[in-house]
Amino acid sequence: MFDLANTNNSLAEPFSRLVEDLPENETYTLLELRSLLDMAIETWQNKSLIPYHLFIIVDAINKRLNSAMVTATNKKPILICYFSPVLTMGAFLTQVFLKTRMLETTLININSDVDIDTLIKELNLTNSPAVIFSFSTFCYVDLIQKRIPELELINTRYYAGGIVFTLKPTLADKLPGFIFPQDLPNLIDSLGVDVQ
């Protein structure tokens, strides 16, 4: 399915094994796609997969989920906010992980105060049960921190994660009331009844 194009490093072998499980023109059950995604995440966490390969696997799984017509179990979508002109890997991985757990999501790009105004309007319209902020750069933590008083007025729960909190754990102190799951399975546990 995928061309590794002269990939001669030690990371190519686990990638090759994972993508062999995704031949084109085959259909997959939700459980098979979930299992493959979980294997890819585990391989990534063991530092045996480079970001590009992880993206290709997540993208392939996402395309198959879109064609599998999976029925979401949540009535209102979970909002996933990312801070970049392009979709970040963290937000994309979170979205596909939640989709494999039959949860509907909506991606929202935030780059300015105007985008946060739009998010607040969306929350007031949809009554989304949860908002997940996926931070890949430090500066956006301050942007969200300034808007916490407005966000607290909306009846929803806020989750945050991303590489910035791994690199500087004290940044979590800037977002009081937010939930910081350790990983994606912990996020599912934390979401619990919020998504019913």
CB-based contact 58:37 (threshold 8 Å): yes
pTM of the predicted protein model: 0.87
Residue 3, pLDDT score: 39
Class of domain 78-195: alpha beta
CA quadruple 32, 35, 40, 44: dihedral, nearest 10 = 170
Q: Name the strand (E) or helix (H) holding 188.
A: helix 184-191
Mean pLDDT computed over 144-150: 96
Highest mean pLDDT among 33-37, 47-51, 123-127, 174-178: 174-178
Kindly state the average pLDDT of the residues 15-23: 60
pLDDT at 16: 61
Q: With H, G, I as helix, E, B as strand and everything else as coil, classify residue 108.
A: strand
Residue 74 has pLDDT above 50, yes or no: yes
Query: Closest by alpha carbon to 144, among 106, 178, 121?
Result: 178
Please give the average per-residue pLDDT across 112-125, as a whole number: 93
Q: How is the chain split into domains, by residue range? A: 12-67, 78-195
Q: What is the edge-to-edge ordering of all strands in the sheet holding 105-109?
A: 105-109, 78-82, 130-134, 157-161
For range 76-98, the mean pLDDT: 94
By percentage, how much of the chain surpasses pLDDT 70? 85
Q: What is the mean pLDDT of the segment spanning 82-111?
A: 94
Region 69-94 average pLDDT: 90
pLDDT at 2: 39
**15 has pLDDT over 70:** no
pLDDT above 50: residue 1: no
Residue 195 has a pLDDT of 65
**Is the pLDDT score of 6 beyond 50?**
no
Could you please report the per-residue DSSP string of 35-88?
HHHHHHHHHHHTT-S-HHHHHHHHHHHHHHHHHTTPPPS-SSPEEEEE-SSS--
Residue 14: what pLDDT?
Answer: 56
The torsion angles phi and psi of 159, rounded to 5 degrees, stand at -120, 150
What the block records as the tokens of 119 is: 């998010």
Residue 196, pLDDT score: 57
Rounded distance between C-alpha atoms, residue 132 and residue 112, angstroms: 17
Q: How far is CA 133 from CA 123, 164, 190, in A?
A: 14, 12, 14
